[in-house]
Structure 1
Amino acid sequence: MSLRAMRVQDLWNLAPCNLDPLTETYSYSFYCDYMIKWPLLCRVLEGPSGTIEAYILGKVEDSPFPPPNPPYDPDTNTDDRYLPWHAHITAVTVAPKYRRMGHATRLVRALEKAADVQNAWFVDLFVRVDNKVAIEFYKKLGYSVFRRIPGYYNEKDDAFDMRKPLKRDKDRKHIRENGENNIVDAEDVW
């Protein structure tokens, strides 16, 4: 088993991983954009036969507008929509044949480690509210619900924005209790 950076030629071998109806699939240009911009956050688990058994797509970013009191400080930021430098899990998926083997945990931990190296405050992700298996998986890894976003997905399904603080957020100021009850409009999510 090899954990390695995703390569362009891998795109023709992701189909077994994308069979789950809850897995978002993207265009080739989308995957390539991620691989070019965030190569350390786009990884695959390749089996001994060369089969792609699982992959993760991630990025690091912040909001496109500056905080009111630069440099950013969680105590002085007054705009609840502003996102500081953080990592985001765009997709993580495991081919059905290779589930329950720890692949997703290994990929998420690799992304968290890379995000710590890049001095991110936290890792976040969006998950459908009715995807109980994924929500429990992320909770076991230390993620918690930060907010609920009604109608976030194309099918108008609600999403949870889940977060896990990283080393930079020593005081855990980017998470909250009872995030399931903090409801925000999809238009306010960047």
Structure 2
Amino acid sequence: MQRAEAHFSHGIADNLDDPKYTHYKYWSNPLETKLPHAPDMEIYSLYGVGIPTERSYVYKMSPSSKCKSIPFRIDSSADGQADSCLKNGVYFVDGDESVPVLSAGFMCAKGWRGKTRFNPSGIATYIREYRHKAPSSLLQGRGLESGAHVDIMGNVALIEDVLRVAAGASGKDIGGDRIHSDIMKMSQRINLQL
């Protein structure tokens, strides 16, 4: 844990101009660093949606005789109502099977959208979501329209977007935001000093 704390930070900066935030341990946390002054640059958040994705857990104490080093375990008896997102002690939300929509899209939806303290030069941000569509047969492999975390690399729409941007198209040229989830509504509910 000490090694992780020395190399990574998980907080929210009060003052992004504080010199401590120039240390590399803050660079991987978008809530503790600001984007560069590059007003002509564009940022894209490309991710899959439409797959139940683990977000949080209900824990209970482990029997002390079984797991001395791990005091908690997931309470698999915890279940919500029939249409609840709580199943077997795990809360599920929309995502790509590995990353929840909120984690994948928040910064482009709100944190960096327009001129904010995290985006002082107003770099344009675009969200491009790819709704998961499972392959119809085993012959399709992982699927040309997959939104799953790794399989999305074979998603034809994603590949087309990446190629068009790499060839010089702007976010507006490729159609701007394409959003299937509730990322904008979820992001507005987060009270964060921008």
After TM superposition, the score normalised by the length of structure 1 is 0.27
Q: Which of structures 1 and 2 has the larger relative contact order (alpha carbons within 8 angstroms, sep 6+)?
A: 2
Query: Which has the larger Rg?
Result: 2
TM-score (norm 2): 0.26
